[in-house]
Structure 1
Amino acid sequence: MANLKEIRNRIVSVSSTMQITSAMKMVSAAKLKRAQDAITLMRPYADKLQDILTNLSASLDTSENEYAQERAIKNVLIIPVTSNRGLCGGFNNYVVKKALHIANVKYAAYNTTVFPIGKKAADTFKKTAHYGNSEAIVKEGSEIWGDLNFANANDMASKIMEAYVNGSFDKVVFVYNKFKNVATQIVTEVQFLPILPPVQTENSVKNTASADYIFEPSKAEIITELIPKSLKTQFYTILLESHAGEHGARMTAMHKATDNATELNKELKLKYNQARQAAITNEILEIVGGAEALNG
């Protein structure tokens, strides 16, 4: 009977876990719908603005565009974007591993500083030498998920852009999860600063050769207004991608956890019924054996 009690306690425990994971799945599904709608609406605008940014930067002299100046690389800023909470599978681990890899391999010859956005990345890089001088702004980087909007992203992007212009960093790189669908997030490394020139293809070369740019209202206003706005929009889009990916990963993880708990619950109930049946059979055998002994 002690074995039956133990199995019964496990059934209760697994059932409670199944209810929790099922509830978390539904919560993540509701949040995912809003996050997915936000990134779906933002992508066309951000992509078009990014095309304008790269083409505009290519048409300007590097001395005119302070965000496109390629300097000798000495200091690299790596920005891994993770969530503040776990229970989302390998969503955070993949980004952290990628950031560590590029810091230790790709940019090993340079002074690398990591500015983590999200507590999961911050907790990891606090223990490494790559944490650098970004400790003062880590709290702000983690708290942005509490109220994700363009205004908050704008303030953070402005500080990163200012650090690049001032020469604190010669290259700024993002590592984040790009949202593809509910079950798939792609770990992406993208150079934020300096602005990369457009990829040269046969069609793009022909278009560039035949293009005649007219700056309206003026080249100076475009440089001071459009380029920073494009960079801030790109920064905000990266945060939206990661935000949608987090909820997709958590919903998928909780769905799998619920399925596993359901399967385990079935196995435990089967084991409980088998053990209970065996106990009843033993009792019957004992009664029959005792009756035969009395008759004998």
Structure 2
Amino acid sequence: MANLKEIRGRITSISSTMQITSAMKMVSAAKLKKATDAIGMLRPYSEKLQEIIENVSASTDLEGVSTYTEEREVNKVLYIVVTSNKGLAGAFNSAVIKELNKSIANTPHEIEILSVGKKVYDAVRKSKKIYDNQSGIFDGMSFEVVANFVENVMRDYREGRFDKVYVIYNKFINAATQEVQTEQVLPISLPQNVEASNTDYLFEPNAKEILDVLMPKSIKTQVYKAILDSVASEHGARMTAMHKATDNAEALRNELKIFYNKARQAAITNEILEIVGGAEALKNS
């Protein structure tokens, strides 16, 4: 029979773990509300911006209009990969890294990685070429911070350092569900055979100058949205993971309490039997 003191120690340890996981769940739940509000406000803006670009593009000939839409021979690919800086979030980080490895295996071109999050940086820094590490942006994230490093990516794309740019991240569906997404950032992928709207648009100053302004903004917004999606997904995944951990710890604690009570009862029974045995021995002596 296990030592009663040892079992009591395990019960105390599990109870402490339950307090920690429960607190982490509540913290993630509070952060999730703020994160979902942020992504909820950005998504309509991003979708409307893309719709405007498609409408303008359908009304003009894109040949030579923008470097950001031109397809060219692919020699080098940049992956912007978004994970978190912390763990304890179930399969949140491993799912993105798995998708990255799958994409790399299917890409017969030179690869560079722009890591957003320590988990992906630690996973690839020894085996892949790192273009940049932006793991610190979560401490004070804003559109301006994201736009700064995306501007560098856009410059290197224009100069021919990269021929395609993708972003891999977890898209937020709900607190319990996140979907790994791989989206092409550059060149901008516009729907094929888009018919111009029946509305007769008048462009001022002209379609090319409008696209020159909207396309860079759309690229930055797409990456920013991916990061906000990932942040919301992280808190949802961690909240779910900590909820399950708390439930599992509670179940284990209850099992140990039952085991402890049985062991204590057995010990008391043994003591009673020893006392009765001793009394009988004295009586017969």
Which AA in structure 1 matches 2:125?
Answer: K
Per-residue CA deviations over 1:20-49 (Å, capped at 9, x if unaligned) read 000000100010000011111111111111
Residue 104 (structure 1) aligns with: 105
Alpha-carbon shift at residue 278 of structure 1 (Å):
0.4
Matches of 2:57 and 2:150 in 1, distance apart?
19
Contact 1:24 1:254 in 2 (8 A): yes
Matches of 2:202 and 2:126 in 1, distance apart?
51
Identity of aligned residues (%): 53
Per-residue CA deviations over 1:126-181 (Å, capped at 9, x if unaligned) read 121xx2251xx21xx10111111111011111111111111110000111000000
Residue 40 (structure 1) aligns with: 40
- Structure 1, unaligned stretches of length 5 or more? none
Alpha-carbon shift at residue 279 of structure 1 (Å):
0.2
Contact 1:178 1:238 in 2 (8 A): yes
Residue 67 (structure 2) aligns with: 66
Contact 1:75 1:168 in 2 (8 A): yes
- Structure 2, unaligned stretches of length 5 or more? none
Matches of 1:189 and 1:232 in 2, distance apart?
16
Q: How has the CA–CA distance of structure 1 residues 116 and 62 changed in structure 2, closer, same or farther, with 3 Å as cutoff?
A: farther
Q: How has the CA–CA distance of structure 1 residues 254 and 68 changed in structure 2, closer, same or farther, with 3 Å as cutoff?
A: same
**Secondary structure in 1 aligned to 2:69?**
coil
Residue 53 (structure 1) aligns with: 53
Aligned equivalent of 1:132, options 129, 132, 144: 129
Q: How has the CA–CA distance of structure 1 residues 60 and 82 changed in structure 2, closer, same or farther, with 3 Å as cutoff?
A: farther
Matches of 1:284 and 1:110 in 2, distance apart?
78
**Secondary structure in 2 aligned to 1:44?**
helix
Matches of 1:156 and 1:89 in 2, distance apart?
29
Which AA in structure 2 matches 1:17?
Answer: T
What is the root-mean-square deviation in Å for CA atoms of aligned residues?
1.6
Q: How has the CA–CA distance of structure 1 residues 209 and 251 changed in structure 2, closer, same or farther, with 3 Å as cutoff?
A: closer
Aligned equivalent of 2:155, options 152, 162, 183: 162
Matches of 2:2 and 2:102 in 1, distance apart?
51
Alpha-carbon shift at residue 223 of structure 1 (Å):
2.8
**Secondary structure in 1 aligned to 2:78?**
strand
- TM-score with structure 2 setting the length: 0.95
Q: Does 1:229 align with 2:217?
A: yes
**Secondary structure in 2 aligned to 1:178?**
strand
Matches of 2:197 and 2:97 in 1, distance apart?
42
Matches of 1:242 and 1:199 in 2, distance apart?
29
Contact 1:57 1:65 in 2 (8 A): no
Residue 27 (structure 2) aligns with: 27
Q: How does 1:1-296 map to 2 (within 5 A)?
A: 3-58=3-58, 59-105=60-106, 107=107, 109-128=108-127, 131-134=128-131, 137-138=132-133, 141-198=134-191, 200=193, 205=195, 208=196, 210=198, 212-296=200-284
- TM-score with structure 1 setting the length: 0.91
Alpha-carbon shift at residue 53 of structure 1 (Å):
2.4
**Secondary structure in 2 aligned to 1:25?**
helix
Alpha-carbon shift at residue 217 of structure 1 (Å):
3.1
Contact 1:54 1:195 in 2 (8 A): no
